[in-house]
Amino acid sequence: MFKMLTAGESHGRALVAILEGMPSGVPIDREKIDLQMKRRQAGFGRGGRMKIECDEVSILSGIRFGKTLGSPISILLENKDWPNWKERMDPFEGNDAEPVCVPRPGHADFAGAVKYGHQDIRNVLERASARETAMRVALGAILRQFLECFDVWIGSHVIRIGSEETRTTFVGACDPMTEYSIAQIRSISEKADASPVRCGNPEAEDKMIKTIRSAMEAGDSVGGIFETAALNVPPGLGSYAFWDRRMDAMIAAAFMGIPGIKAVEIGAGFQSGQTPGSEFHDAFFIGKNGAVHRRSNRAGGIEGGVTNGMPVLVRAAMKPIPTLTKPLPSVHMAGRTEVKAHQERSDVCAVPAAAVVGEAMLAMQLAGAFHERFGGDSLDQIKKHVNSHDQP
Ligand code: EPS
């Protein structure tokens, strides 16, 4: 239901995004956008770029006096680093910048150069850079304000960095599913907001920081796993009727589209392959109020590709950043010689930031499915449609 586009090179003049299909009358708070942009920039293990940038977007259209108009929303983020790159990245002037000819194993460098026929790998890495995720977070910050009109809440935390993990998880908070599960999920995410590695468990946090520091000192990088959750998601989003309408398929595709993500899990997805049905599936019961309830949420809020009213739980694994200060063996693409991989200023660990990007991707996918299910051109119309639906 929403169309979105982003453009911009990492060291180009600016990043831009357009969001089309937003209903009118949705209140948009500028500070909420700024907050999400700041959250993405944070995290222990980030490189020098985050000290240069202070990501603050300008809204060019689609919002007037704090409310959406129903017209396309366009967003601009100027790169503060641009003056330092102008001569190497200008759209027209000059072409004598030193080309990058040595791909980093694990990066888009090699495959991207082969695909687009680039001799200079800079033409690949500029757009493949995770800097682009700044615009996804900006788009997500607007779409989550649409979802907030219906009390949908989205949060995240990091559960693993390298070999260090926390046992406190969203999936665990829902097993068993109690009256405290929702509050627990919110509290885990809120505590993570105060942590430099987005992990609210002080013991695990400490070990995660040490792991990143060791990687830094060793000229290495480190990946990890984060968890995202969406609460108060209405049942009925997505569909079992066709593969690309399945809510879990849409979420998995969106998460796999975050740079560096190599695996996605919905609920206790990997556990499902090793647990008997009698122990895995979330049994029903009728609560005191006559409503349908569950005692667990291993399905992660989605059954048959459709949301079932339980918290939507998504995990994603991020590989270690491919840029290493002690680089891996590589090849010079022009000279055909064996050399060490290209080095570029980079992060040592970006898992905490990826968790914030995950929240944005979840907001995008849920907002689209929500709009498809309830329909309407204005917030008031959609509210009427939502209120006319029976809850199970
Ligand atoms: C990023 C900006 C980039 C990197 C990082 C993400 O800035 P620069 O390349 O100028 O240091 O810090 O990108 C990568 C790790 C990558 O592989 O491209 C950002 O804004 O998130």
Cα 309 to Cα 304: distance, rounded to the nearest angstrom: 13
pLDDT band at 53; cut points 50, 70, 90: very high
- Is 80 exceeded by the pLDDT of residue 390? no
Residue with the smallest CA separation from ligand 1 atom 19 is 131
- Ligand 1 centroid to residue 296 C-alpha, Å: 39
Residue of 123, 129, 345 to mutate, ligand 1, most atoms within 8 A of C-beta: 129
**What is the reported pTM?**
0.97
- Is 80 exceeded by the pLDDT of residue 207? yes
What residue spans of the chain are helical by DSSP H? Answer: 30-41, 49-52, 82-89, 109-116, 122-128, 133-148, 170-173, 181-193, 202-217, 247-256, 277-280, 351-374, 379-387
Cα 99 to Cα 123: distance, rounded to the nearest angstrom: 9
Which SS3 state, helix, strand or coil, does residue 274 take? coil
- Is 70 exceeded by the pLDDT of residue 173? yes
- Ligand 1 centroid to residue 125 C-alpha, Å: 10
Which SS3 state, helix, strand or coil, does residue 12 take? coil
Which SS3 state, helix, strand or coil, does residue 23 take? coil
- Ligand 1 centroid to residue 133 C-alpha, Å: 10
Cα 280 to Cα 204: distance, rounded to the nearest angstrom: 28
Which SS3 state, helix, strand or coil, does residue 332 take? strand
Give the nearest ligand 1 atom to 46 CA.
12
- What phi and psi, each to the nearest 5 degrees, are found at residue 101? -120, -5
- Ligand 1 centroid to residue 47 C-alpha, Å: 8
Residue with the smallest CA separation from ligand 1 atom 20 is 131
- Ligand 1 centroid to residue 82 C-alpha, Å: 14
Give the nearest ligand 1 atom to 322 CA.
17
- Is 80 exceeded by the pLDDT of residue 391? no
Residue of 84, 347, 357 to mutate, ligand 1, most atoms within 8 A of C-beta: 347
Q: What is the mean pLDDT of residues 345-359?
A: 97
Cα 321 to Cα 260: distance, rounded to the nearest angstrom: 7
- Ligand 1 centroid to residue 265 C-alpha, Å: 25
Half-sphere exposure of 113 (CA within 13 A, CB side): 19
Q: What is the 3-state secondary structure (H, E, C) of 194-235?
A: CCCCCCCCHHHHHHHHHHHHHHHHCCCCCCEEEEEEEECCCC
pLDDT at position 94? 78
Asked whether the beta carbons of 247 and 237 are under 8 A apart, the reply is yes
In this predicted model, what pLDDT tens digit does every residue of 71-82 receive, in sequence order? 999 999 999 999
In this predicted model, what pLDDT tens digit does every residue of 252-295 receive, in sequence order? 999 999 999 999 999 999 999 999 999 999 999 999 889 899 99
Q: What is the mean pLDDT of residues 36-61?
A: 96
pLDDT at position 115? 98
Residue with the smallest CA separation from ligand 1 atom 10 is 49
Q: What is the mean pLDDT of residues 216-244?
A: 97
pLDDT band at 95; cut points 50, 70, 90: confident
- Ligand 1 centroid to residue 339 C-alpha, Å: 23
- Ligand 1 centroid to residue 241 C-alpha, Å: 39
- Ligand 1 centroid to residue 328 C-alpha, Å: 19
Cα 274 to Cα 251: distance, rounded to the nearest angstrom: 23
At residue 129's C-alpha, the angle toward residues 124 and 135, to 5°, is: 125
Residue with the smallest CA separation from ligand 1 atom 17 is 129
- Ligand 1 centroid to residue 375 C-alpha, Å: 38
pLDDT at position 123? 97
> Could you identify the residue written with the tokens 């898992």?
351
Give the nearest ligand 1 atom to 260 CA.
17
Residue with the smallest CA separation from ligand 1 atom 1 is 131
- Name the amino acid, one letter, at 46: R
Q: What is the mean pLDDT of residues 85-111?
A: 94
pLDDT at position 1? 78
Q: What is the mean pLDDT of residues 34-56?
A: 96
Q: What is the mean pLDDT of residues 227-252?
A: 98
pLDDT at position 96? 82
pLDDT band at 99; cut points 50, 70, 90: very high
Residues in contact with ligand 1 (CB, 6 Å cut-off): 10, 47, 49, 129-131, 133-134, 321, 323, 345-347, 350
Residue with the smallest CA separation from ligand 1 atom 7 is 49
At residue 58's C-alpha, the angle toward residues 54 and 63, to 5°, is: 145
- Mean pLDDT, the chain, integer: 96
pLDDT at position 392? 65
- Ligand 1 centroid to residue 10 C-alpha, Å: 7
Residue with the smallest CA separation from ligand 1 atom 12 is 346
Q: Which of 316, 320, 315, 318 is nearest to 298 (CA)?
A: 315
| Low-confidence winner among 145-154, 246-255, 260-269, 334-343 (lowest mean pLDDT) | 334-343
Give the nearest ligand 1 atom to 40 CA.
21
Percent of the chain with pLDDT over 70: 99
